[in-house]
Amino acid sequence: MKVAVVGATGLVGTVMLKVLEERNFPLTELIPVASEKSVGKEITFKGKKFPIVSMDTAIGMRPDIALFSAGGNTSLEHAPRFKEAGTTVIDNSSAWRMDPTVKLIVPEVNAHELSIDNKIIANPNCSTIQMVVVLKPLHDKYKIKRVVVSTYQSVTGTGVKAVEQLMNERKGIDGPKAYPYEIDLNVLPHIDVFMENGYTKEEMKMVKETNKIMSDDSIKVTATTVRIPVMGGHSESVNIEFENDFDLAEVRSILEKSPGIIVVDDVANLKYPMPKDAHEKDEVFVGRIRRDESAPKALNLWIVADNLRKGAATNAVQIAEYLIQKELV
């Protein structure tokens, strides 16, 4: 399997390479792709050095799969070119997610939708991925009416510049700014741009992507997405209202048995999910499982995951693994 990683030197691209290595992905040739300024440099993968090549060179090498994490514009321009060359593209940008002809995939939820005809596949937004992994088994059992989610998102979701801003502020030194305000000792209720309806683009991604991935527009979703000064991953406070009532022990049992989920819920011993524990893990961690006592058939959860791994790189690699397993590529 010839695999290209487009954006190989970026934050997510670097994690994609790490995940491919850790999961011993069955690749026969690796094609790292980055901007012209990086062409010629080398990356090390499984102890071997691979030269970074240009987009055109990579397309000419006709990879079987191209994992993209290089921004929406790059993906809009070049994903179709890889497709033309016979490559299956799995794109981490938002460029294709709401395109009705493109599948938006979280393997634990809707990998079954994939077919050999899908040559551009969209990886959902990180904050959406970790939420729908948990919503899916509960929706199947109790049918979800409404979801209210507040997120607490790591600066790694913004990128290297944001991590540098946080670290510089912590050291009391000036430097490049990724945010309009200080992020250390602060929180910003503002991720991406504000829309006409007063929501941010990040919040509307969670709303729209959830309905598409779950294939159910009847699920009402509202979101408030917040940036906080942490590194290890995104946390989410999720309130779910169901059509049908539930038993709390059964909810816990369902989650414990569901793929990709680890339940960490023992408050008597102060056990609950935290970004520090989720960092560099591939699972979605769920805790603080409790009935919402203010409303019938409603549940509160706390969901944490590493946004660079399950929220981006690992989910993309898992899609690629599924394609190979089902001989769809």
> Binding residues for ligand 2RA, per CB under 6 A?
125-127, 153, 157-158, 191, 202, 307
Number of residues assigned to the chain: 329
| β-strands 48-51, 65-68 pairing | unpaired
For the CB of residue 12, give the shortest distance to ligand 2RA in the complex, in Å. 8
As to burial, measured by CB atoms within 10 angstroms (0-12 exposed, 13-18 middle, 19+ buried), residue 40 is exposed
Q: Does the annotation flag 252 for ligand binding? A: no
Q: Does the annotation flag 37 for ligand binding? A: yes
Q: Does the annotation flag 11 for ligand binding? A: yes
For the CB of residue 158, give the shortest distance to ligand 2RA in the complex, in Å. 5
Task: Kindly report each contact of residues 94-101 with a partner whose C-beta sits within 8 Å and lies 24 or more positions away, as own/partner.
Answer: 94/125, 94/205, 95/122, 96/120, 96/122, 97/122, 97/124, 97/125, 97/205, 97/209, 97/212, 98/208, 98/209, 98/212
**Considering beta carbons, is residue 210 or 307 the nearer one to ligand 2RA?**
307
For the CB of residue 184, give the shortest distance to ligand 2RA in the complex, in Å. 17
For the CB of residue 16, give the shortest distance to ligand 2RA in the complex, in Å. 14
* Cβ neighbours around 236 below 10 Å, total: 24
Q: Could you say which DSSP state residue 124 is in?
A: P
**Considering beta carbons, is residue 233 or 273 the nearer one to ligand 2RA?**
233
Q: Does the annotation flag 10 for ligand binding? A: yes
Q: Does the annotation flag 212 for ligand binding? A: no
Say how far apart CA 223 and CA 264 lie, in whole Å. 24
Distances (CA, A) of 50 to 13, 30, 57, 127, 222: 14, 7, 14, 32, 44
Nearest to 105 by CA among 87, 123, 79: 123
For the CB of residue 17, give the shortest distance to ligand 2RA in the complex, in Å. 18
Among residues 78, 126, 139, 279, which one is catalytic? 126
**Considering beta carbons, is residue 116 or 195 the nearer one to ligand 2RA?**
195
For the CB of residue 191, give the shortest distance to ligand 2RA in the complex, in Å. 5
**Considering beta carbons, is residue 169 or 265 the nearer one to ligand 2RA?**
169
Q: Does the annotation flag 166 for ligand binding? A: no
CB 142 within 8 A of CB 242: yes
Would you tell me the crossing angle of helices 248-257 and 126-142 to the nearest 10 degrees?
120
Say how far apart CA 6 and CA 133 lie, in whole Å. 26
Among residues 78, 139, 234, 279, which one is catalytic? 234
**Considering beta carbons, is residue 87 or 130 the nearer one to ligand 2RA?**
130
Phi first, then psi, for residue 152 (nearest 5°) are -130, 90
**Considering beta carbons, is residue 202 or 306 the nearer one to ligand 2RA?**
202
234 in catalytic set = yes
Say how far apart CA 37 and CA 59 lie, in whole Å. 18
Q: Does the annotation flag 157 for ligand binding? A: no
Find the residue with minimal CB distance to ligand 2RA. Answer: 157
Residue set of the binding site: 9-12, 37-38, 97, 153, 227, 307
Annotated binding site for NADP(+): 9-12, 37-38, 307
Binding residues for phosphate: 97
| Binding-site sequence positions for substrate | 153, 227
Kindly list the catalytic residues.
126, 234
